């Protein structure tokens, strides 16, 4: 698929996906969402990709659904079906990427754009970033899994306040609430820091990272007893990887391990 509204760039083993409608703060049209879903599918399929960065071009990360397109389709498409075929597919494809996915939040993340950030595994932000549960400002409810992810990340008290008020939250506040892993000191530091993190993760046991993600997803709402069983099942798979054997051998031989992601 040829991409027109996103950039898909691979350097080493790191894929950077850049939402690329900067004049509209990367608000998502159906075309962009189709391309993004496809990009996550390729990210999972391509064995050379061992870490993924998602960021935005220009001064915004993503302002959510493109509202001009919402107005254009007024009455023609059901909101539920639209979500099922666009954003939900993006979120599903993203959740199927068994590699680390890092959000590099360069600017405002609003509505479903914020949901996209929450769905990533790690979240780094520029001090220029901000977060808005913008849905209620236009009479909609949070989507893109935000009702599931946000209370888990920052607790129901803060999540409910964000959702009901639609208030803009700064990167620093979001960090203090536990929504972000890090706010870099200067805006210019964001991509260098995220690139370094992604390169570090891309050199780690990729299959193991994928299995950690699978374990976290499977145990998110389970009992301890069920979690123990999930861990035993997935450890079985991790134990069969070449990277596990290499890690043990390297430790015993007192050398640095070279992980190949298999
Ligand atoms: O079925 C379904 O699809 C439902 C799904 C819904 C999912 C959702 O995401 S609903 C929420 C949609 N998003 C919003 O409501 C956010 C709307 N945007 C804003 O509130 C503000 O733009 C921001 C607070 C994000 C940023 O404000 P500011 O002052 O920094 O920038 P701006 O001047 O408002 O925006 C700059 C340009 O981007 C401007 O275009 P122009 O006038 O220069 O040509 C603005 O219209 C455009 N833009 C920003 N957000 C959107 C957008 N264009 C279309 N859709 C947008 N969401």
Pick the CATH number of 206-252 from 2.60.40, 3.30.460, 1.10.3470, 1.10.12: 1.10.12
Rg of the chain taking only CA atoms, in angstroms = 19
pLDDT over threshold 90, residue 236: yes
**Closest of 170, 242, 213, 198 to residue 54, by C-alpha:** 198
Spell out which residues line ligand 1, taking CB within 6 angstroms: 24-25, 27, 63-68, 79, 82-83, 108, 110-112, 132, 134-135, 137-138, 140, 143
pLDDT of 15 reads 98
Of 130, 127, 131, 128, which is closest to residue 144 (Cα–Cα)? 131
The tens digit of pLDDT for each residue in 97-129 reads 999 999 999 999 999 999 999 999 999 999 999
Angle between helix axes 30-45 and 87-95 (nearest 10 degrees) is 10
Q: How many A from CA of 24 to the centre of ligand 1?
A: 7
Instruction: Report the DSSP pairing between strands 14-19 and 51-56.
Output: parallel
* Cα distance between residue 228 and residue 177, in whole Å: 29
Report the pLDDT value the prediction gives residue 197, as an integer from 0 to 100.
Answer: 98
pLDDT at residue number 74: 86
CATH class, 6-202 region:
alpha beta
Looking at ligand 1, which residue's alpha carbon is closest to its atom 55? 66
DSSP state of 140: -
- CA count, 13 A, side-chain hemisphere, 102: 25
CB 86 within 8 A of CB 30: yes
- Is residue 171 within 8 A of residue 126, CB to CB? The reply is yes
What pLDDT digit, counting tens, does each position of 37-54 carry?
Answer: 999 999 999 999 999 999
Bridge-based pairing of strands 182-183 and 122-125 is parallel
Q: Which of 20, 22, 24 to mutate to test the pocket of ligand 1 (most atoms within 8 A of CB)?
A: 24
**Which residues are registered as beta bridge partners of 55?**
18
The per-residue pLDDT for range 61-73, each reduced to its tens digit, is 999 999 999 999 9
Q: pLDDT band at 57, cuts 50/70/90?
A: very high
Q: Domain-by-domain residue ranges, the chain?
A: 6-202, 206-252
| Nearest-angstrom CA–CA distance, 229 and 206 | 22
Q: How far is CA 204 from the centre of its chain?
A: 19
């Amino acid at each position: 698929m040829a991409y027109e509204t996103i950039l898909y760039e691979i350097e080493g083993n790191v894929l950077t996906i850049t939402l690329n409608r900067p004049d509209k703060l990367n608000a998502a049209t159906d075309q962009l969402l189709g391309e993004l879903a496809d990009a996550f599918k390729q990210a999972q399929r391509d064995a050379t990709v061992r870490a993924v960065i998602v960021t935005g071009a220009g001064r915004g990360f993503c302002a959510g659904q493109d509202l001009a397109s919402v107005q254009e389709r007024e009455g023609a498409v059901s909101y539920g079906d639209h979500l099922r075929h666009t954003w939900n597919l993006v979120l599903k494809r993203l959740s199927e990427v068994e590699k680390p996915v890092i959000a590099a939040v360069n600017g405002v993340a609003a509505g479903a754009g914020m949901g996209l950030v929450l769905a990533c595994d790690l979240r780094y932000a520029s001090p220029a970033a901000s977060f808005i549960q913008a849905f209620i400002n236009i009479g909609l409810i949070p989507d893109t899994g935000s009702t599931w992810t946000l209370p888990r990340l920052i607790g129901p008290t803060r999540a409910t306040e964000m959702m009901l008020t639609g208030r803009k939250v700064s990167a620093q506040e979001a960090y203090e609430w536990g929504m972000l892993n890090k706010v870099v000191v200067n805006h210019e530091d964001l991509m260098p820091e995220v690139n370094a993190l992604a390169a570090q993760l891309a050199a780690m046991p990729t299959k193991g990272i994928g299995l950690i993600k699978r374990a976290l997803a499977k145990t998110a709402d389970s009992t301890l007893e069920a979690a123990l069983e999930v861990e035993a099942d997935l450890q079985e798979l991790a134990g069969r990887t070449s990277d596990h054997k290499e890690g043990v051998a390297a430790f015993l031989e007192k050398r640095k391990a070279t992980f190949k992601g298999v």
